[in-house]
């Protein structure tokens, strides 16, 4: 006759909950990691081998390797916001402010104008996510009033040449135009 143990029975739901929690935890660890892996994808062009990764929080830059594979250790909190540059084209700004990214290889599109267009429309800086540091970028021949405003850092004068996706704002905090 089996020994009936009431204390063991009481334990069972607790053990089951513990098991479910540990399974869920191991799944979440599988799908998240602290190293960002990416590769550059250029529109209609072969990979160049002289891209740069810009870390705006550090004002620091590193070159991409010849295969344009990128690994960034997000354990360094200064490396959690970055974008890539090739000639004067830019990728989107990647932000992993909690230091964790999805375990995948990210395709880094250059240029990524649609990304910046969204921030232009929202009028928010893609690096600090704030509006209060933004000043407009003005094209064309400036009058006296605009020249005075530029001297007081209220606007940026950018000359006469504009393109379809010319930047519209400058963030005075991050020294970043978009
Ligand atoms: Zn900013």
pLDDT digit string, tens, across residues 42-82: 765 555 567 889 999 887 787 776 667 889 999 999 999 99
Verify that 140 and 79 share a domain, yes or no: no
> How far does the centroid of ligand 1 lie from the alpha carbon of residue 38, in Å?
24
Long-range own/partner contacts, residues 119-122 (CB < 8 A, 24 or more apart): 119/178, 120/168, 120/169, 120/178
Q: Is the pLDDT of residue 3 over 80?
A: no
Question: Are 80 and 101 within 8 A, CB to CB?
Answer: no
Which of 111, 133, 150 corresponds to the end of one domain?
111
> How far does the centroid of ligand 1 lie from the alpha carbon of residue 125, in Å?
5
Banded model confidence at residue 98, pLDDT cuts 50, 70, 90: very high
Range of the domain at 151: 115-178
Verify that 93 and 135 share a domain, yes or no: no
Number of domains in the chain: 2
Verify that 66 and 134 share a domain, yes or no: no
> How far does the centroid of ligand 1 lie from the alpha carbon of residue 127, in Å?
5
Q: pLDDT tens, 122-145?
A: 999 999 999 999 999 999 999 999
């Amino acid at each position: 006759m089996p020994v009936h143990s009431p204390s063991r029975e009481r334990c069972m739901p607790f053990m089951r909950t513990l098991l479910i929690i540990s399974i869920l935890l191991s799944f979440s660890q599988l799908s998240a990691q602290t190293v960002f892996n990416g590769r550059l994808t250029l529109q209609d062009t072969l990979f160049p081998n002289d891209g740069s990764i810009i870390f705006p929080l550090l004002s620091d830059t590193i070159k991409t390797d010849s295969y344009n594979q990128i690994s960034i250790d997000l354990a360094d909190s200064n490396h959690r916001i970055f974008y890539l540059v090739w000639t004067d084209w830019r990728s989107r700004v990647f932000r992993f402010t909690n230091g964790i990214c999805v375990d995948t290889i990210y395709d880094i599109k250059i240029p990524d104008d649609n990304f910046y267009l969204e921030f232009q429309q929202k009028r928010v800086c893609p690096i600090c996510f704030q509006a209060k540091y933004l000043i407009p970028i003005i094209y064309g021949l400036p009058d006296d009033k605009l020249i005075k405003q530029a001297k007081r850092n209220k606007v940026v004068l950018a000359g006469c040449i504009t393109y379809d996706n010319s930047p519209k704002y400058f963030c005075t905090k991050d020294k970043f135009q978009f």
